[in-house]
Structure 1
Amino acid sequence: MSKTPHTLPSGRVALSQQTPPIALGPLDGRYRPQAGILVDYLSEASLNRERVHVEVEWFIHLCEQRALPGLEPLSQEQKDGLRAIVTDFDVQSVAELAEIEAVTVHDVKAVEYYIGRRLPELGLEHLKALVHFACTSEDINNLSYALSVKDAVEDAWLPAARKLVSAISDMAQDAKTTPMLSRTHGQPATPTTLGKELAVFAHRLNRQLNRIAKTEYLGKINGATGTFAAHVAAAPDTDWPAISQSFVEGLGLDWNPLTTQIESHDWQAELYSDIARFNRILHNLCTDVWSYISIGYFQQIPVEGATGSSTMPHKVNPIRFENAEANAEISCSLLDTLGATLVTSRWQRDLTDSSSQRNIGVAFGHSMLAISNVIKGLERLDVAENLLAEDLDQNWEVLGEAVQTAMRAEAIAGREGMDNPYERLKDLTRGHRVDGERMREFIGELGLSEAAEQRLKGLTPGQYTGLAEQLVDRYAN
């Protein structure tokens, strides 16, 4: 007995046949609220909308520039009508394009025919041959991707990333005077403040945002092998490089004057490297915060009604930061692959870039998901100041650095009896617990100047934070 089309061999219902469709990937399913905005920029539908946009603007530009004999600038009504093809692009447009592509078996050619269908109502049927004039598919695709990625970065990814960095900076300001025991190599070390440690991440992430904000989004429109050969064959007296440059720059992109059939994608590799580096710094923040949670420096504020652990009711697992780690790693793996793949193309071109670029949205989506989770995770943290203070009070030996350095300064100033400062502090502190009383007693035995002795005797681990507060004020924003 044969199975129905809606049943799997196991007898279970085929979920792939359900309406509405069930998402295969988490970005279109579970995590749609966090990443869904990217559909407006990096989906197949949005790419086609950008293709229509580029084709329409090229059509208008050729007329405006009188690039061919007999061409005249269009009326404002005609230009508005052409641009309405882009602004009115919707789900019905997507469906119509799909129907055309089912016949053409070529996505860019389908766009050309889609626009051509709309010319008669604008009184432009006689210029139907001007749609996609002298263009190879990559003239349209490279500009469409550049516009899509640029808008996705500027309208979606950067605002989310800046919101995150602002949240970290605010936390750094709030905790800039909260002393905390540092750990170098996992061992108790010179104290810092919690705010200064957070400020380091804000500063690192901001550097990447500044690089990303200065990205060059390159584009080209120069024909099948980058030589303007077809253009010159049709209109040898036209300054085609000038028209190409003014068109690309008019789209808000940077003109690439020298390419093969494809724009070389170097700018994409540069951008993806910067975003991946941002992801990795964010990953480092997650591992540090996770570790601080594990030793109790941060306490997580429970969400009312939420389950912290499926079996241990006392726990609140740091799931936001663990989720962010995983998604940052997935994003980086895709961005790394894109950056490595896109800069290489056989001779004039091959199609590896076409397949690879379809995953740009996925790479961005996992990064945005990581950012969203960290923002939410940081919002649910409380600083356990009492525990931080207790930890500092149990580690007076960290003042050994301050004492031996002051002894060095005294020796340089000519004070006698300051020999072997490092070794003397090592004998006092290594392998031994030193409390405040013993540390002050030791300082009193050293023969320091009165000013230095009083300064060091008045020092506690919680006060030994140097310029941490000032560093946050100066550099964390």
Structure 2
Amino acid sequence: MVTRLTDSPVYAHLWSTPELEEVFGETARWQAWLDVLVALARVQARHGLVPPEAAEQIAASARTEHLDMDRVAAGTRVTSHSTLGLIRELQRVLPESAREHVYVGATVQDVSDTWFGLVMRDVGDLVRRDVRALEATVLGLAEAHRDTPMAGRTHGQPGAPITFGFKAASWADELRRHLDRLDEGRPRWAVGQLAGAVGALAFHDTDVDPLDLRRDFCTELGLGDPGASWLTSRDRVAEFGQVLALVGGTLARIGGEIYELARPEIGELAEPTTATAVGSITMPHKRNPEVSEHLDTLARLARAAAGVLLEGTVVSHERDGRGWKAEWVALPEICLLTGTALGLARTLLDGLEVHADAMVANLDRFGDRLTSERVLAGLSGRLGKHAAQDLLQGVLASGEGVVDALVTRGVASADEVRGWMTRDAGTTAARMVDDVVSRARGREPGP
């Protein structure tokens, strides 16, 4: 029975993706935990701790299709232990000679934290793929609209001219920093855990070097060795969550821009749509920016989950389930939310409608007022910045024409004022577009 709206077959597409469901679905999660147990047995066999034939029997049997998952669930409830139901069910399907060699010297947290390492590696790679694809799309927008003029806005109000390429380049530059974060963080996150009861690997400190065993265990799973047990050192998980939250924040910022600029009275951007899409069931004329809006929703939830992961860094001694168990909920949640947002953002930006004519019309509508920064710069050279500010603000507040007002006050000629107004403010913005594009594509920026 589905009890959460986000898990409903009707609405699940708004909160997850089929690709991520393959990572976090019930069967996939159990199989990942079984794979960790298989890797442990194989490495222990190579180190002479369990018989090689037992390790292979464990590998052959540790498949979810061989297990009765209802028995696993019942055993988990009866024992009040997170993995004992799974262990006993696996033992049940194994030959008797292999049963005592399952899960030797490991703990619940060894299994679940190693799964976290696999998740952060694999989800991180998926996130990187989608961020890179988004960056490529946005770089294309930046290049195509390098010189497309539009109103730059501050505090929601028209400010001074920019280009749409400049706006898109700021999106691309932010996405590039997320790629850097993902690349830099991957070696920290993609590690395993084999710590034992309090992190000292005492169970394995017999006839083998426990650190060699742990290193081989991590290698078997394609993970890095952590260097030290991290049972209550949860910064890896928290950092990964913060990076995903930052990615979600960027997508929400982009969505928010599109949401605002798609308003009919502005009309500079529009989401892609289809003939079957319904904007409003009561107002058929509407074309709602549903995707842009949902990016904000997903980002809010992702930040909340990231906060839970950050809370988990404050825990006690050598094991503390309070923060660690909360991660079981929050880490999958933020991965699903971020992956969904990335998929939606790719669709949104791949089909984004850019209405350059509306951008120019909006600039024209506000006329000379949007050149005030350039006129202020011209006047500042002869009056001083603050005196020029006071003068120009008074002129604009009076409703006088800027050229005539400044000529009348004897502070500039008409040609000087018009020259200040017509100076191309987009030149520097366009150079920054070139710089962003060049750096993203591995070239040195031009002069």
TM-score by length of 2: 0.82
Partners of 2:120 and 2:240 within 8 A in 1:
no
Residue aligned with 2:353, SS? strand
SS of the residue aligned with 2:262? Answer: helix
| Residues 1:222 and 1:186: Cα distance change in structure 2 (over 3 Å) | closer
The match for 1:431 among 397, 405, 416 is 397
Output the amino acid matched with 1:225: V
> 1:253 and 1:302, CA in 2 relative to 1: closer, same or farther beyond 3 A?
closer
Q: Which has the larger radius of gyration?
A: 1
CA distance in 1, matches of 2:214, 2:273: 58
SS of 2:158 mapped into structure 1: strand
* 2:316 equivalent in structure 1: 346
Mapped contact 1:50–1:148 kept (Cα < 8 A): no
With over 3 angstroms needed to count, the CA separation of the structure-2 counterparts of 1:151 and 1:439, relative to structure 1, is farther
SS class of match (2:104): coil
Residue in 2 that maps onto 1:252: 222
Question: Structure 2 vs 1, CA of residues 441 and 407 (structure 1 numbering), >3 Å: closer, same or farther?
Answer: closer
Task: Give the aligned CA root-mean-square deviation in angstroms.
Answer: 3.5
Which residue of structure 1 aligns with residue 428 of structure 2?
Answer: 467
Task: Give the gaps of 5 or more residues in structure 2.
Answer: 441-447
Counterpart residue type for residue 276 of structure 1: A
1:116 matched to 2:91? The reply is yes
Residue equivalent to 2:288 = 317
Q: Which residue of 2 aligns with 1:167?
A: 137
8 Å Cα contact 1:297/1:387 also seen in 2: yes
In the alignment, what sits opposite 1:446? 412
Q: For residues 106 and 424 of structure 1, do their structure 2 counterparts lie closer, same or farther at Cα, with a shift above 3 Å needed?
A: closer
1:86-235 superposed matches below 5 A: 89-90=64-65, 94=69, 97-98=72-73, 101=76, 105-117=80-92, 119-120=94-95, 126-154=97-125, 156-215=126-185, 216-217=188-189, 218-232=191-205, 235=206
Rounded Cα–Cα distance in structure 2 between residues aligned with 1:146 and 1:434? 65
The unaligned stretches of length 5 or more in structure 1 are 1-20, 412-417
**Match runs of 1:58-69 below 5 Å:** 58-66=40-48, 68=49
Shift of 1:267: 0.1
When residues 311 and 200 of structure 1 are mapped into structure 2, their CA distance, relative to the original with a 3 A threshold, is same
Structure 1: which amino acid aligns with 2:251? L
Partner in structure 2 of residue 37 of structure 1: 19
Q: What is the rounded CA distance, in whole Å, between the counterparts of 1:168 and 1:443 in structure 2?
A: 46
**Deviation (angstroms), 1:287:** 1.8
CA offsets, 1:345-375, max 9 Å, x none?
Answer: 3333233222441342222222223333333
The alpha-carbon deviation at position 226 of structure 1 amounts to 1.4
Between Structure 1 and Structure 2, the one with more helix by share is 2
C-alpha distance 464-128 of structure 1, shift in aligned 2 (>3 A):
same
Equivalent position SS for 1:214 = helix
2:271 and 2:94 map into 1 onto residues whose CA distance is 61
Shift of the 171–93 alpha-carbon distance from structure 1 to 2, 3 Å rule, reads: farther
CA contact 1:256–1:263 (8 Å) conserved in 2: no
Can you list the C-alpha shifts for 1:150-181, whole angstroms capped at 9, x where unaligned? 22332x43333333333333222222211111
Maintained 8 Å contact 2:47/2:208: no
Q: Which moved more, 1:467-476 or 1:297-306?
A: 297-306
Seen in structure 2, the aligned counterparts of structure 1 residues 92 and 221 have a Cα distance that, compared at 3 Å, is: closer
Tell which deviates more after alignment, 323-332 or 388-397: 388-397
One-letter identity of the residue aligned with 1:221: L
Asked whether the equivalents of residues 57 and 98 of structure 2 are also in contact (C-alpha less than 8 Å), the reply is no
